[in-house]
Homo-oligomer: A and B are copies of this chain.
Amino acid sequence: MGDTASMATCFDMCQHRHMSNSKVLPVLAPETATPCCPPLTERPLTAEEAERTAKMFKALGDPVRLRLFSLVASHEGGEACVCDISDVGVSQPTVSHHLKKLREAGLLTSERRGTWVYYRVEPSVLAAMGQTLGRYSA
């Protein structure tokens, strides 16, 4: 299950710009990361770039996953226990399944503390996606 790690490193090459929250995020050596993806308007994506980038968008392409992600992202303290976000209209196994997908896409990280499992947003991957969308909103 090394998907999470590979997606996380995928991003870090994408940070052409400065990040103000470098204190919070672990700093990875650039040479260990594979390049992720330029803005979609810059040049046509290669097949591999598209394959890699599509996984991130696909992870947010399901309504339930999007709600779960939003619940974690907006939760107090930046993290949420599974029991806090299980009320999205699907069964508990399904919630677990979607959280796993989000984890595999590198969008969330999980940590067990005692009885509960806490999920937390991986900001770097979000930033990579935003960068891929380009500067339309500037």
| A8 proximal to B (CB < 8 A) | no
> Quick one: given A73-B40, A131-B137, A133-B129, are A67 and B45 in contact (CB under 8 Å)?
yes
Q: Which one of A64, A66, A74 has the greatest number of beta carbons of chain B within 10 Å?
A: A66
A35 at interface, CB cutoff 8 A: no
SS class, residues of chain A in contact with chain B: helix
By the criterion CB–CB under 8 Å, are A66 and B44 in contact? no
Q: How large is the interface on A (under 10, 10 to 19, 20 to 34, 35 or more residues)?
A: 35 or more
> A123-B136, A136-B126, A138-B20 in contact; A61/B57 too (CB < 8 A)?
yes
Known A126-B136, A133-B129; contact A54-B74, beta-carbon cutoff 8 A: no
